[in-house]
Amino acid sequence: MSILTLREAPPERLDLDGLTPAALAGLSEAEAARLPVGTSRRGLTLGDCFAISLDGSDELRIVGATERLDRVGAGLSAGRIVVEGDVGQRLGAGMTGGTLTVSGSAGPFAGTAAKGGTIRIAGNAGESAGGALHGAEAGLDGATLMIGGTAGERLGDRMRAGLIVVKAAGAHVGSRMIAGTIVAEAIGDHPGYGMRRGTLVAARHGALLPTFVETGRQDLVVLKLLATSIQALVPEAAALLRAPMRRYGGDLATLGKGELFTPVG
């Protein structure tokens, strides 16, 4: 296991884009220490901020992480990154494979444009987790994003594919959603604003838009299959997916092929 240990709180935000097990495997510790990570004129390098121990393996551990570390795991294609602490914005941006685990919380846009792999955040996530960056075509695009705590507003904004599982989230969950699935215990007001396709499942929700209409009680096999696939990882979400569901279709102000499922009763 390769280990990066943050010596102290950095004096500026650090950009860890591309620091993956595969990228570090071909470098010596001296070469890795010269990699630029600073975001200001200081010109900080990896060695300025971290104690570095590399063994060429497919697992990287970041110890003592803080919310000033941005784009951790961005571009990960294989292997595993484990973060002890919090991270900043764009966690796992553009991932195509592998596993990224954070013991703390993450900033905004976690999982943006991630096409594969699994991201697990034990704590909370900022706004637009699984959402699109400003001007980008899509947010989460095929990866799996699991959030143990609460996510901010616009979870899954312009999400195009993949799965998000979260304990609770703010308003506008699934806004402008293109496709994919979001499962939550509780979500805020106006879920699915502007969504074209996709599936939202929530045990509790806030106010619904008038452009969502009830279509009756549903008992879909696909939800039970999804429950089976995530049972070992998130048993609470799996239990929700097995409950009798009421379906709402929308957003009828757009294409209107999206859906919100919530338990009957």
Chain segment 149-181, per-residue pLDDT in tens: 999 999 999 999 999 999 999 999 999 999 999
> Cβ(243)–Cβ(263) under 8 Å?
yes
Question: Which band of pLDDT confidence, cut at 50, 70 and 90, is reported for residue 229?
Answer: confident
Q: Count of residues for the chain? A: 265
The whole-angstrom separation of Cα 146 and Cα 123 is: 10
For residue 265, pLDDT beyond 80:
no
Question: Which band of pLDDT confidence, cut at 50, 70 and 90, is reported for residue 232?
Answer: confident
Strand partners, 227: none
Mean pLDDT of the chain: 95
The whole-angstrom separation of Cα 77 and Cα 57 is: 14
118, two tokens: 């699994």
What's the whole-model pTM score?
Answer: 0.94
Question: Which band of pLDDT confidence, cut at 50, 70 and 90, is reported for residue 218?
Answer: confident
> Cβ(152)–Cβ(126) under 8 Å?
yes
The whole-angstrom separation of Cα 123 and Cα 103 is: 7
- With residues binned 3-state (H G I as helix, E B as strand, rest as coil), the percentages for the chain, rounded to 5, are 10, 35, 55
The whole-angstrom separation of Cα 171 and Cα 156 is: 11
DSSP state of 86: -
Strand partners, 118: 99, 144
Percent of the chain residues past pLDDT 90, beyond the cut: 89
Summarize pLDDT for 17-45 with one digit per residue, the tens: 999 999 999 899 999 999 999 999 999 99
Percent of the chain residues past pLDDT 70, beyond the cut: 100
Mean pLDDT of the 174-193 span: 97
The whole-angstrom separation of Cα 11 and Cα 173 is: 34
Signed CA dihedral, 226, 232, 233, 234: sign only = positive
Summarize pLDDT for 105-149 with one digit per residue, the tens: 999 999 999 999 999 999 999 999 999 999 999 999 999 999 999
